[in-house]
Each structure stands twice: as structure tokens, then as C-alpha cells.
Amino acid sequence: MIEVKNLTKQYGKFFAVKNISFTVNEGEVFALLGPNGSGKTTTIKSIVGLNIPTSGKILINGVDISSDSTEAKKYLSYLPQRVVFPENLTAREIIRFYGKMRNISKDVADRALEEATFNGFSDKHISKFSGGMIQKLGLAVVAMANTPILILDEPSVSLDPHGVIRLREFIKEKKSEGKTILFSSHMLSEVEQLADRVAILVNGKLIMLESIENIKKSFETNKTFEELYLSLVEEI
Amino acid sequence: MIFEEVKYRYKYCLWIVLFGFILSNKISFAEENILQTRINSSNIGDTIRVKGGLYIGNLIVNKRLVLISDENAVIRGSGSESIITILADSCVLQGFQIEHSGRMLVNEDAGILIKSSFNKIINNELHDILFGIYLLHSQHNLIENNKIIGRRFLDVGQRGSGIHLWNSHWNTISQNEITDTRDGMYIQNANNTTITFNRVYKVRYGLHYMYADSNYFYGNSFTDNMAGAAIMYARNITFRKNIFLRNRSFSSFGVLIQDCHNSTADSNLIIDNRIGIFFEASTNNFFKHNLIMKNDAAIQIFQNSINNTFTENNFIDNLSPIQIIGKTTSSNWNLKNVGNYWDDYGGYDLDLNGTGDVGFKIQNVFDYLESNYPLTRLYLYSPAAQALSISASIFPVIEINKEFDNYPLMQPISTRSIAEYFNLIKSPKNNLSSLLIIFFSYIFFITIYIKVSRKNLFPTSSG
Amino acid sequence: MKIIFEIAKQEFVINTRNKWTLIFTIIFGILVLGISYSGLLAEGFSGIQNFSRTSASLLNLTLYIIPLIALVMGTLSFTSDKGSMELLFSQPISRKQILFGKLLGLFATIFFSTAVGFGSSAILIALETDFSGFAKYISFVFLILLLSIIFLILAAFVAIVSFRKLKAFGTVLFIWFFFELFYDILVIGGTVLLKGQTANTFVFISLFGNPVDLVRVGSLIVLDNPTIFGAAGAQLLRFFGGEFFSFVILIFTLSVWCLIPLFIASKKLAKQDI
């Protein structure tokens, strides 16, 4: 579903991402793992069409994002690292607005809002929302789009434990619906529990791309996943 | 010359008579002759009363007569030369409509040509004429309550003057209305003229004035002309209670004073002109109690204008107070410790004597710049111009000139009675109603604003 | 087109619900109304052209405030929170649509919030003056709104290029000072130094380099007439071939001032990382 070929992103002389290639298959949950500044966000932003890559090619469902981004973006919905909504809009206004962006009718948008259960806050301004409710709304926007691909950038960062649980449920649910999910994280536990395959990024380079099982299997003897990861990160 | 005219007239009549025979017996063009014939057959001092109707042909009044039409008889000129020529003294011409003069500018074809003295021209209406009333070497005439309408379709330079005085003294011009001519009143070599209560509008120069001394102007109005009054090469002129309003074009002015000396302007209204008063090479003139308001520039003055005095004038809401061409002038901006009212003056009057305790510097840096570099006027009212003026007033590094009013008035001089005379006062009821309108429309718009901004982005149809 | 309209609508609602916009609306309204009221009525004379220093102050006020407001609003909108920008830009819509939509919404906001002052003044002017006075006023408002579009686009351009909020605000403030003050002082200085025909050409050409000057000169000509500039006005009209042509050139140049930054901004935005 997502093909990343030789992706490079350069800021001046600094390489945020250098020559990365990977493929995310249909229906799998794919995790980008790495410490802060390893290039996870840059990679995701390039996939979503927010960043313009220095070189390389990204295909979403076979469509090149750089040549036909509008078409390519129809197949994915994206949740940024920190979701922010304009403070003086209501939840309903926001969800209907994003509905309009994808030609989704008001009724469908309203249903998505009901499913998210805001308990009477649906028509309140965002300024009155708690962090958890904003996350909920973000997830509702992403879910409403009903695209085959979901892309989440560090979704659990700055969430309280309830939020983390809600997120985990969300990903599991979407996986069961057959969606392709790509998310980034620096939290091993999250990756371990949710992902089918993992790509480990360090300093802008892809150093490992394996299924969770394979990784676990090859290092079963002496190391936990955590130890493995730390050793990999230190090596570089 | 008269012989020629008669010959011409004869020929003209012959044609008319021929046409009359051919066309109809009922249309009689013989009227044309009747008036001149009556004049010719009358005795000196007779009064000829003319019934209403159309009288075709030019007239020559060559003996003392009183010509009166109570029914506004129309005298239609032949279309060449002047329509009525008065050669004898002490004639009266009253109540006629006079039209269709000649069109030769060089011959100065007029509606009424006067070459004699002590005549009275009263209550006539002149239109389709090149010059209106032309006074040539004529003294002591009275021109009163005539209406003169020039040929609007001509270029302004191709028209004649409304009232033209040449080498004529002691005349009185009063209560006439003049429009669509070249100059309203053209006065050359004419001393001791009294000009009162005339209305001149939509002409080139309302008053054009050369080499004429000791004249008196009172209560005239000069509006919507290319220039109000141009006074040149004159002495001892007195202006009182005239209005110069809306005289606007690129180099236009309310009053132009050039080479004019020892004249007095008192209680005039000079409003909404391009330049209020223009001075060049004029000395010892005296301005008092004038209202100089809403002009683009109140005064434009050449350096060569010396010792002019301004006292107790109101300078209100002019875009520039003064434009000096050159460095400085030796104008007196006050007389016996009484200056003028400047609405820009921001000083104080602690001793409560009615004049400000600090002098008023009339020209700021930008005024100075724009008088000497006219192009910079394009930056009039730009923030840059204001910044320049403000910074120069805080740090007066450059001394621009010595134009100071040391005794600026704290309150304007009342000019209300003159403004009332010229119907310039607004009825006060507008103020309250407008205030209410403002208030409610403001509330209305704010309410709309708040309503709209609170409205749902996407109107809810399903909850 | 529909997408542009929806984005504009959202932008409009976000901005009009902002309390600062409301405060601006109320204050601007009072100022404009106050000025037109005092200009129209306080003199107590009738039959006099309405242009005066009060109109000049109205012109001045709007020439200061409108570009500033447009710049601030534009910068705020185009450097708004990353989270909401990212979400918006990841939607299946083109960046051009976002740019045009936001600009349209911002312009609608300015139009709407100045409408309180301009609109209630228009009612006053319509009631107190004749048709020509009203027509003059309308064309003045039109020019001012055109100016607001130019500065919105400039703000968008700066925000897109500099990307960081602080840098964008610094640049925008500099732009404001430059066009309001420095540029004119430089030109005035040049006019005084240069001579004759060179000075003429210099001044008239330099007018085109500053949209604020264009609108100021245009508004003075519209509100009063070119005679307000005296000899300079006559020269200006002769230089541009008459009143009609001057106005055409004015509108054309202002459109160029809109289109070129808009074109560059949209090109820049296409290559910009969000």
C-alpha cells in the first residue's frame, strides 16, 4: 500500500533522512521506531505529502505523492503528532469541515461525532476541551475519513494513560477492519504490542526492517526487545 | 460705419421681404424695422414702451431715449456685430431679452455696446451673446440686475466677457448674474467702479482686473469658476463681504493679487478653492476679518510680496496654511498685538487676553518642501510627511523661515452673518438626526457582525 | 472551488470569533464614524465640498491600520498551530486551494469587520450628501479593500517563506514600516535632490513601488480631485495621459501588486515543508 523508495531529505548539509526504502503491505500494522531526531517524523511527513523530499519516490496505493498528491492523499488519513484545532470552533464544526474536505456528507460526519461520544460537548468550543477530548476528536476525524491507510505520528506522546489505552483500542479496531496502519513511536512497549513489522530508524538511516516475530526469534536467547534496540542504537 | 450698417440692413430686409411674399402673407417680418423706425422717428427724451414679441435686427440708439418693455420683448440680433449699440448719453434700457449677437471675437460683438455715459441698463436678460455688456469710454453708467448667459458650447477661450469695461470710470455694476462667459467681469483702465451684489459662476475668471484703481467690491459671489478674482496692476481696491467659493483647477485660486498695492480685503469668505489667496509682487495690502477655509492651500505668496498685513482672519481647515515661493516674506501676521486664528495652533492663553502666549509657526517642514519642490506635494498627508514635520518640530535643526504669528487668536472671529447672507449655514436639525442615524446604523452593523460570527459554520439540519 | 469556499468559510469563522477581531471592529467602526460625522456635519457650512482635513485623517487612519491589520491577520493565519496546519495539508486537497481559501476567508474577515465602520458611514454619507459624494466614498472603500488584499498576500508570502512565527512577524513589521514611512522619505529625499524632468520621472515611477502610495494618491484623487496636488497633480495626469488612464493604470498596478506576490507565494508554498 505504501512504497518508499530511496527517500532522502536534506536540510542544507544535514540529512534528516538518508536513502530509506520500505514497503507497507495491505492490512498490516507497520511501526517506525527510533529515538527523537532519528527521522521518523520526516519520513511520515514525506509520506503524507507535507514534506517535499530531496530525492526518492513515495507511492500511495500506486500513486506518486509528489506528482499527484491530491489523488494520493485520498487513500490516507493522517493524525499529526500534536493535534491542535482552532479554539473557537465547535467539535461539530471541525468534523463537518474535515468531512467537506473529503466530500463526506454532514450526516456521516455527525455520526462519527456521535460514535466518539463527547457527552454534550459536541457543540462546545474547543477551548473548553481537555487534552484527551481533543485526541478523541482527532481520532474521530481520522476514522471518519474511512481511508484504507491510517498514518499516525507518535500518537501516544503527551497522552495520559486513558488516552494511551484508547489509542491502542483504536489501532486494534482499525486493524480488525482491515486498514493499513503506519505509526511512529519511540515507545517499545507500544510497538511490541501493536505492530506486525518494525522499521528502526537511527540518525536518518534505516538500520533494521523485520517482523516483530523475527526480531524476537533471532534474539530470543539472551536479549529482550528493549536490550536489542538499545544495543542497535548505541552501535551507530 | 453707420452707413455701411444701413446698407447691410437694407440688403437683408430685401431678402426678408421677398421670402415673406413667397411663403405667407401672415408672417410679418416688418417688426424688425418697427423698433429701429420708432427709435429713428422719436424725439430726444421720449419714452418708448415696447410690447412683448420678437423683434429681429440690431438696434442703434443714437439719441437720449428710454426704452422699456414691461412684457420682456425679445430683441434678436442679426447674428453679426453688437445687438444694441448705445451712442447717446443718459439712455435707459429696461426689461428686454437680448439674444443672438455676432460671433467675431476681434470685433468684440456684444449684447449691449455702450459708448456713452450716464446710461442705465436694468433688468435685461442676455443670452446667445459673445460679450454681454461692453462699456467703451463710458462713464457713470448703471448696470443693474441683468442676467448674462454666454455661449456655453464655445471653448472658454472663444467666448467674450460678461461685463467688459474698457477705459470707463465711475460706473456701477450691481446685482447682475453672469455665467458661461469667458471672464465674468473684465475691467481694464476703469477707476472708481462700484461692483456690488453680483453673482458670477462657471466662467474662467470671475473678475479679471487690470490697471484699475480705487474700485469698491461689496457682496459679490464668485463660485465654481476656474478662478475667483484676478486683480492685477491695481491700487486702493476695497473688497468687502464677497465670497470666493469652489474655484478649483490645477492652478486655480480664490483671489489672485498681482502687482496690487494698498488694497483692503475685509470680511470676505474664501472657501474651498485650490489656493485661497495668491500674492505676487504686491505690497502694503491689508487683510482683516476674512474667513479662509477648506482651501488646498490658504495662501500662496511669492517672496517679492512685501509688507502685507493679516490680522483677525480665520484660517480653518486648509490643507496647507501657506506656500511660500522663495525663502521668506515680510508679511505682518499681526497688527497691534492682534494676530489671526489658526486652527492648527496648539498653544495656550494663560493670561486670558485672547491671544496665545506662544507664537505660531505658520509653515512646517513639509509645507516648506512642497512650496519649493511642488512634486513632493504628492506625499501630502503621507505618514512620511507627518513624520518629517513632527521630527522637525521636536528637533528644530533647520530654520525654515520667519513666518510667525506672535499673537495667534484663541477663538475664531465670527463670520456667521456673512455666511448667513450667502446661505451657507446648515440647518441645525441635521445634527441630531444624523447622530441618531449613526448610532443606530452602528449598533445595527455590530449586531450583524456578532450574529454572523456566532453562527454555526455549517448550519445544523439534523441536530 | 467548493473546497476553496469551505476553507474560506472556516477561516472567516475562526477570525470573526476571535475577540481581537471584534475589538478591532468596534474601535475601527467608532473611529471611521467619528471622522465622517465630524467631517460632514461639524463645520456648519453647506454647499462646500466634503473633502477636508477630516477626510484626509480618515484616509490616513485607514492607510495606517488596514495594512497593519491585514499583515497581522495574514501572518497569524499562515503561521497558526502546526498541528492544525498539518491536519489540513494532509487532506486530499491541493495547496493552492488552501492558500486561496485562507486568503479569501481573511479578506472576507477584513471586509466584514471594516464594514461596520465603512457601512454605517456609508449610510450617513448617503443620507447627507448627493450621489457623487456617495460614489466617491464607495470607490475610496474599494481602493482600501484592494490595499488590504495586497497586504494579506504579502503577509501570506512572508509567512510561507519565513515559516517561523517570530521571524514572520519581524519581517511583516518591517514591511509595514518600510511601505508606510521609509520608502516615502527616501522618495521625498530623492525628489529634493534630483532636478527637472528626472525628478518628475523618479517620483511618478516610484509611486508604483509602493501600494500604499498608489492607494493614497488614488484615494485623494477619488475623494477630492487631482487639483489637490496642484502642479504636481497636473504633471501626474499628463505623465499618465489623463484622469481615466491614470485610474486604469492605478487599478492595473494594484492588480499586479496582488498577482505577483500571489504567484510567488503559491510557487513557494508548493515547495514548502509544512
pLDDT value of position B343: 83
C-alpha dihedral over B204, B207, B211, B213, to 10 degrees? Answer: -170
Q: What is the 3-state secondary structure (H, E, C) of chain C?
A: CHHHHHHHHHHHHHHHHCHHHHHHHHHHHHHHHHHHHHHHHCCCECCCCCCCHHHHHHHHHHHHHHHHHHHHHHHHHHCCCHHHHHHHHCCCCCHHHHHHHHHHHHHHHHHHHHHHHHHHHHHHHHHHCCHHHHHHHHHHHHHHHHHHHHHHHHHHHHHHHHCCHHHHHHHHHHHHHHHHHHHHHHHHHHHHHCCHHHHHHHHHHHHCCCHHHHHHHHHHHHHCCHHHHCHHHHHHHHHHCHHHHHHHHHHHHHHHHHHHHHHHHHHHHHCCCC
pLDDT value of position B7: 52
Q: What is the largest CA-CA distance in chain C?
A: 62
Establish, for the pair of chains A and B, how many residue pairs have beta carbons separated by less than 8 Å.
20
H or E stretch including B205?
Answer: strand B205-210
pLDDT value of position B30: 44
Q: Do B461 and A106 touch (CB under 8 A)?
A: yes
Contact A177/A170 with Cβ under 8 angstroms?
Answer: no
Residues of chain A with C-beta less than 8 angstroms from the C-beta of C87: 78-80, 83, 98, 138, 141
Q: Do C17 and A88 touch (CB under 8 A)?
A: yes
Residues of chain C with C-beta less than 8 angstroms from the C-beta of B384: 180-185, 188
Residues of chain B with C-beta less than 8 angstroms from the C-beta of C187: 379
Chains in contact with chain C (at least 3 beta-carbon pairs closer than 8 A): A, B
Map grid coordinates 444624523 to a residue.
Answer: B434
CA distances from A85 to A95, B294, B341, C4 (A): 10, 54, 60, 19
pLDDT per residue as tens, chain B (463 positions): 444 554 555 555 555 555 544 444 444 444 446 888 888 888 888 888 888 888 888 888 988 989 998 888 898 888 888 899 999 999 999 999 999 888 888 888 899 999 999 999 999 999 889 999 999 999 999 999 999 998 888 888 888 899 999 999 999 999 999 999 999 999 999 999 999 999 999 898 988 888 888 899 999 999 888 888 888 898 899 999 999 988 887 778 889 999 999 999 998 989 888 889 998 889 899 999 899 988 888 999 888 888 899 998 989 888 888 888 887 788 888 888 888 998 888 788 888 888 888 888 887 778 778 777 878 888 877 878 878 777 776 766 666 667 788 888 888 888 777 777 777 765 544 567 777 888 888 888 888 888 888 776 655 443 3
Residues of chain C with C-beta less than 8 angstroms from the C-beta of B420: none
Ramachandran area for residue B57 (φ above 0: left; ψ -120 to 50: alpha; else beta): left
How do residues C111-151 score in pLDDT, each as one tens digit?
A: 999 988 888 888 877 777 767 778 888 888 899 999 999 99
CATH number of A1-75+181-236: 3.40.50.300
> Which member of C90, C93, C272 has the closest CB to residue A78?
C90
Domain-by-domain residue ranges, chain A? 1-75+181-236
Residues of chain A with C-beta less than 8 angstroms from the C-beta of B461: 106
Cell of A184: 511512529
> Strand A76-79 and strand A2-11: pairing?
unpaired
CA dist C186 and B129 (Å) reads: 55
> Which member of A77, A81, A85 has the closest CB to residue C84?
A85
Q: Do C48 and B441 touch (CB under 8 A)?
A: no
CA dist A12 and C18 (Å) reads: 38
Name the pTM for this structure. 0.79
> Which member of A49, A80, A93 has the closest CB to residue C87?
A80
H or E stretch including A11?
Answer: strand A2-11
> Which member of A52, A82, A93 has the closest CB to residue C273?
A52
pLDDT value of position B10: 56
pLDDT value of position C103: 95
CA distance C266 to chain A (A): 15
CA dist A95 and A110 (Å) reads: 8
CA C87 vs. chain centroid, Å, equals 31
CA distances from C237 to B18, B378, B379, C93, C197 (A): 57, 12, 16, 47, 15
H or E stretch including B38?
Answer: helix B31-41
CA dist A8 and A46 (Å) reads: 10
Q: Report the half-sphere exposure of B11 (CA within 13 A, side-chain side).
A: 7
Residues of chain C with C-beta less than 8 angstroms from the C-beta of B437: 123-124, 127
Domain B24-203, CATH class in plain words? mainly beta
- Sorted by sequence, the CB contacts under 8 Å of residue A157 that are 6+ apart come out as A81, A82
Beta bridge partners of A161: none
> Which member of A93, A100, A110 has the closest CB to residue B456?
A93
List own/partner pairs for C136-144 with CB under 8 A and 24 or more apart: C136/C222, C136/C223, C137/C223, C139/C222, C140/C59, C140/C219, C140/C222, C140/C223, C143/C215, C143/C218, C143/C219, C143/C222, C143/C254, C144/C62, C144/C63, C144/C66, C144/C114, C144/C118, C144/C215, C144/C219
Q: Minimum mean pLDDT among A38-47, B221-230, B398-407, C240-249: which range? A: B398-407
> Which member of A97, A107, A110 has the closest CB to residue B457?
A97
CA distances from C3 to A69, A100, A109 (A): 16, 7, 16
Q: Amino acid identity, residue B393?
A: S
Beta bridge partners of A15: A10
CA distance A9 to chain C (A): 11
CA distance B320 to chain C (A): 10
How do residues C15-51 score in pLDDT, each as one tens digit?
A: 988 888 899 999 998 888 887 777 665 445 554 555 5
> Strand B404-405 and strand B255-261: pairing?
unpaired
CA dist A71 and B144 (Å) reads: 88
Best residue in A87, A93, A94, A111 to probe B by mutation, most B CBs within 10 Å? Answer: A93
Flag whether pLDDT at C265 surpasses 80.
Answer: yes
Q: Do C120 and B369 touch (CB under 8 A)?
A: no
CA dist A93 and A142 (Å) reads: 15
Map grid coordinates 498528491 to a residue.
Answer: A69
Q: Do B457 and A107 touch (CB under 8 A)?
A: no
